[in-house]
């Protein structure tokens, strides 16, 4: 499994250094959580911050948009240096238009589903996606408990892709640590996002290795 530390749990005053820290600790991608205070009840970072920290690593930027109107901000996050943009199927933007806009900027597209959303909501778009992100907490805050009961969604996406001969990665996000990663691994997850599990660990490098080797 690949590991994508979520900057939501880093020291925001030292975001550049925190990125270097997890890059050196073996991270595969950097996960950036964008929240607008409407789609989720929290506010985080926008394109200006993504752009400001872009020079600190060569690792891919995995930008998770938790905003009402992702389509309106694709250009801004493309300009800021996103490599993968994931947006919520529950957002207000039309999925096909949003995916096409992401692709028009040469970026990989992903769809995200909240815990309460049935997995087949993303099936109509699978052939255009690089990745599906299955939320394993309610989006909005770090440090919540992993919902293991979301793992059947991972298996369902993998089964649907196998049936249609598609190669779509599955990422999980929320409550992933050394303790919960084995359940994700067993379900067939390709990428684990981990905020608290990496940034609050005594040894982030060991935490990343442990999740990867689950
Ligand atoms: C939650 C975010 C997650 C969050 C994960 O809305 O999408 O990326 O940072 O944090 P942990 O790993 O602490 O649950
Ligand atoms: Zn996230």
pLDDT at 142: 97
Residue 188 and residue 155 in contact, taking contact as beta carbons nearer than 8 Å:
yes
CA of 6 to the centre of ligand 2 (A): 7
Best probe residue, ligand 1, of 22, 91, 193, 201 (max atoms within 8 Å of C-beta)? 193
Site of tokens 């050196």: 24
Per-residue tokens: 181:
């990663």
Number of domains comprising the chain: 1
- Kind and range of the H or E element at 101? helix 95-104
Task: Write the CATH number for 162.
Answer: 3.20.20.70
Which of 202, 187, 181 has the alpha carbon at shortest distance from 4? 181
- Residue 79's pLDDT is 98
Active site residues: 33, 173
Q: Which of 66, 105, 103, 104 is nearest to 86 (CA)?
A: 66
Q: Among candidates 159, 85, 92, which has minimal Cα distance to 128? A: 85
pLDDT at 88: 99
Domain region containing 75? 2-212
Angle made by CA atoms 138, 142, 147, in degrees to the nearest 5: 45
- Ligand 1 geometric centre to CA of 72 (Å): 23
Ligand 1 binding pocket includes 139 (Cβ within 6 Å): yes
Does the beta carbon of 142 sit less than 6 angstroms from any atom of ligand 1?
A: yes
CA-angle at 104, arms to 62 and 170, nearest 5°: 35
Q: Residue 122 has what pLDDT?
A: 98
How would you write the pLDDT of the chain (214 residues) with one tens digit per residue? 999 999 999 999 999 999 999 999 999 999 999 999 999 999 999 999 999 999 999 999 999 999 999 999 999 999 999 999 999 999 999 999 999 999 999 999 999 999 999 999 999 999 999 999 999 999 999 999 999 999 999 999 999 999 999 999 999 999 999 999 999 999 999 999 999 999 999 999 999 999 999 9
Could you give the CA distance from residue 200 to residue 96 in angstroms, rounded to a whole number?
A: 37
User: What was the pLDDT predicted at 138?
Assistant: 98
Kindly give, in sequence order, each residue whose CB lies less than 8 Å from that of residue 68, ignoring residues fewer than 6 positions away.
36, 38, 39, 91, 92
Structure tokens at 94: 């039309």
| Angle, CA 94 vertex, CA 89 and CA 99 arms, to 5° | 80
């Amino acid at each position: 499994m690949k590991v994508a530390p979520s900057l939501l749990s880093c020291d925001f005053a030292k975001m550049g250094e925190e990125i270097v820290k997890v890059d050196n600790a073996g991270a595969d991608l950097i996960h950036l959580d964008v929240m607008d205070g409407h789609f989720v009840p929290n506010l985080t970072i926008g394109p200006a911050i993504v752009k400001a920290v872009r020079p600190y690593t060569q690792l891919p930027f995995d930008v998770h948009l938790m905003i009402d109107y992702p389509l309106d901000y694709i250009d801004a996050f493309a300009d800021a240096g996103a490599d993968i943009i994931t947006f919520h199927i529950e957002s207000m933007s039309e999925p096909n238009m949003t995916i096409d806009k992401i692709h028009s900027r040469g970026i990989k597209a992903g769809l995200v589903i909240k815990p309460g959303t049935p997995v087949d909501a993303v099936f109509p778009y699978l052939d255009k996606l690089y990745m599906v992100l299955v939320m394993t907490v309610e989006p909005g805050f770090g440090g919540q408990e992993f919902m293991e009961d979301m793992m059947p969604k991972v298996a369902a996406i993998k089964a649907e892709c196998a049936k249609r001969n598609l190669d779509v990665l599955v990422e999980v996000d929320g409550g992933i640590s050394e303790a919960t990663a084995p359940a994700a691994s067993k379900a067939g997850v390709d990428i684990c996002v981990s905020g608290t599990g990496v940034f609050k660990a005594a040894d982030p490098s060991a935490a990343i290795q442990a999740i990867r080797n689950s």
